[in-house]
Amino acid sequence: MENYVIIGNSVAAIAAIEAIRKKDKEGSITVVSDEPYLAYSRPLISYYIEGKVDEDRMLYRPRGFYEKKNVKTILGEKAVKVDSKTKKISLKNGQEISYTKLLVATGGLPFFPPMKGIESDGVFVFRTLDDAKKILEYSENTKRAVMIGGGFISLKAAHALRELGLEITVVELLDRIMGIALDNQGAEIVEKRLEENGIEILTKHTVSEIVSNKRGKVEAVILDDGKRIDCEMVIVAVGVRPNFKLLDGSGVKTNRGIVVNDKMETNVSNIYAAGDVAEAYDFLYKENRLNPIWPNAYEQGFVAGTNMAGGSRKYPGGMGMNSVEFYGIPSISMGITSPEEEGYEVLIKHLPDKNIYKKLVLKDNVIIGAIFVGDIDRAGIVNGLIKEQAVVRDYKADILEDSFGFVSFPIDVRKEKLTKSKSKAS
């Protein structure tokens, strides 16, 4: 009988449990997580701060999920070591757990840039429910919070704290917010809307120092140009790094993340990895890359679980993508949105007075990236076309139009997609 051990308890772990139980009802499954909670939706922590969801509504799966799937949980205990020779993992409390199949789904950890004052009271990261609880408590005595970094996580924290009435300044090194996902024209729309709602955005700047008072609490930040911004809270959101320190000495190959093949296997037999910790195949870059996003983590976890349970399933590869809405302006980005080299075709529809910006990036009539700001309604069709690597020569001019849909496709393509029985997604 298999003895599955899963380290981590977020989306990749849950997907793996669901996949394993489709194939193997008998094997024992043990989930170990350093967080004391049932699997919850991490992206909802900003809504938790705003008071829009409580802990119960944050549960990713209904209460009773683990019992129903016959999963043993060890929550609030950190796994610190993997011994691939004896096939055992060790917990911080000294306990050892044997496995026959191991999944490492430990996610990422926020990156702390070296910076004077970063250890001060009132400096937070924004990843876990516990982070959100601490921020919420601290916010009661906070007038202004400064966000270091202008990506999704920073902006979601900024939005949540603004809803609580705090004054907010976002400091971003690049010349735009959401630098990876959007380009300048797309970001400008979102930026304007955030500023209209009281979130101050300073691009092309960094925080060079965090200043604390005598009691060690944050009282200001100093920018690279010497400007001082008084604040009581700082949130550091300049990126996450895969969390694989526990694999030191295990022989598992790591690069920027844990290197996996298309079955989510590492180089060490019976050890798999999935989710934000894994460096899996990216079908656009045609190489292994970090793509730490929710949908990829689910798919990778599901592939890992299927293969761990003796099935055969390949990860087709993922791509970067994200979706967020601020103050009534939704934005979606996918794939390579601002290629650095020449040789790409770019189609743009920009209606600044309507807060709409849409962009397609193509190479040889195949879409490799897209941005949708303000109008996202049929963005998913484009996602499907990117995954299929479909040649869109005949209808590419229609894609950014309001009327775009399956009606834009040649009739045989449309019939193939819509009238066949196996409505399987690409």
Residues that bind other proteins (CB under 8 A): 11, 15, 41-44, 47, 52-53, 57, 59-62, 294-295, 298-299, 302, 321-325, 328, 330, 332, 334, 376-381, 383-385, 387, 403, 405-408, 414, 417-426
With respect to other proteins, which residue has the nearer C-beta, 86 or 423? 423
Alpha carbon distance 370, 201 (integer Å) = 25
Name residue, tokens 């601020």: 326
CB of 100 closer than 8 Å to CB of 270: yes
Q: Quote the tokens at residue 303.
A: 């592939």
Across-strand partners of 75?
33
With respect to other proteins, which residue has the nearer C-beta, 263 or 414? 414
Least distance to other proteins from the beta carbon of 15, Å? Answer: 7
Q: Quote the tokens at residue 415.
A: 């019939």
3-state helix, strand, coil in the chain (%, to 5): 25, 30, 40
Least distance to other proteins from the beta carbon of 140, Å? Answer: 24
With respect to other proteins, which residue has the nearer C-beta, 365 or 426? 426
Across-strand partners of 145?
168, 233
Q: Quote the tokens at residue 371.
A: 């941005």
Q: Quote the tokens at residue 200.
A: 């101050």
With respect to other proteins, which residue has the nearer C-beta, 40 or 99? 40
CB of 45 closer than 8 Å to CB of 55: no
Longest CA–CA span in the chain (Å) reads 72
Least distance to other proteins from the beta carbon of 409, Å? Answer: 10
Alpha carbon distance 362, 359 (integer Å) = 10
Least distance to other proteins from the beta carbon of 150, Å? Answer: 19
CB of 374 closer than 8 Å to CB of 356: yes
With respect to other proteins, which residue has the nearer C-beta, 312 or 403? 403
With respect to other proteins, which residue has the nearer C-beta, 207 or 324? 324
Q: Quote the tokens at residue 24.
A: 């193997």
Least distance to other proteins from the beta carbon of 115, Å? Answer: 31
Return phi, psi of residue 337, to 5°: -100, -20
With respect to other proteins, which residue has the nearer C-beta, 70 or 267? 70
Q: Which amino acid is at 102?
A: L
Least distance to other proteins from the beta carbon of 35, Å? Answer: 16
Across-strand partners of 211?
220
With respect to other proteins, which residue has the nearer C-beta, 146 or 187? 187
Least distance to other proteins from the beta carbon of 145, Å? Answer: 22
With respect to other proteins, which residue has the nearer C-beta, 232 or 375? 375
Least distance to other proteins from the beta carbon of 405, Å? Answer: 4
Number of residues assigned to the chain? 426
**Nearest CA among 34, 211, 5 for reference residue 120:** 211
Least distance to other proteins from the beta carbon of 312, Å? Answer: 15
With respect to other proteins, which residue has the nearer C-beta, 117 or 320? 320
Q: Is 418 helix (H, G, I), strand (E, B) or coil?
A: helix
Alpha carbon distance 417, 136 (integer Å) = 48
Least distance to other proteins from the beta carbon of 11, Å? Answer: 7
Q: Output the DSSP codes for 378-408.
A: THHHHHHHHHHT-B-TTTGGGTTSTT-SGGG
